[in-house]
Amino acid sequence: METLRQYIRSVAPLEEEACRRLAACFEPVVYPRGHRLFSAGRTETRMYFLEKGIARAFCDSADGEELSFWFGMEGDIVLSYNSYIHNRPGYEHVELLEDSRLWAASIEDVRKLYLSDIDIANWARKLAEQELIRTEERFISRQTGTALERYRELLRTQPRLLQRVPLGHIASYLGVTQVTLSRIRAEVRSL
């Protein structure tokens, strides 16, 4: 439970009682590699903190390919934004890439706390702000950087991800083919 409280406090400071009330909404869950937390077209009712493992968010392209657009690691929040914000079906699939331990909470239970405790509501605002910034950074990186620059940035900011995620998912995330990713990796190694 202390790990969960650390995750909560990493989003924004909370008084001990508010942190305890929020943490009480969560329960530990364990799922195997390959488990799908969310599926596109469903309104999801739970949110998670990832304690151990890696999650991948992806959507299906028109040609049937999976397009990875997010990876979550230890300490990250995992939620379907459309379900969390609008109570509508999400567009993404989220699957676990490793056996994982998570903390799960009912979105409805957490929303009730937002209504009853301004400090917890402000915590949720900070969570949304942080996630918005991260999303914006990923979007800008995908639009402005070359494939090599995107790979180097991933290598600089999340080197553990490259060791734990299959290269096909990394290539999709970077918006390149696996062949192109292999060339980029060879180029970086030769420098």
Does residue 40 belong to any structural domain of this protein? yes
pLDDT band at 190 (very low <50, low <70, confident <90, very high): confident
In a domain? residue 160? no
* Tally of domains within the chain: 1
Q: What is the structure's pLDDT at 141?
A: 80
| CATH number (domain holding residue 94) | 2.60.120.10
pLDDT recorded at residue 48: 97
pLDDT number for residue 126: 95
Q: Let me know if residue 88 belongs to a domain.
A: yes
pTM of the predicted model, to two decimals?
Answer: 0.90
Residue 134 belongs to a domain: no
Instruction: With cut-offs at 50, 70 and 90, classify the pLDDT of residue 2.
Output: confident
Domain-located, residue 78: yes
Structural domain contains residue 143: no
Q: How confident is the model at residue 47 (pLDDT cuts 50, 70, 90)?
A: very high
Give the model confidence (pLDDT) of 74-110 as tens digits: 999 999 999 999 999 999 999 999 999 999 999 999 9
**Domain limits at 45?**
2-117
Residue 85 in contact with residue 57, Cβ under 8 Å?
no
Asked, for residue 170, whether it belongs to a domain, the answer is: no
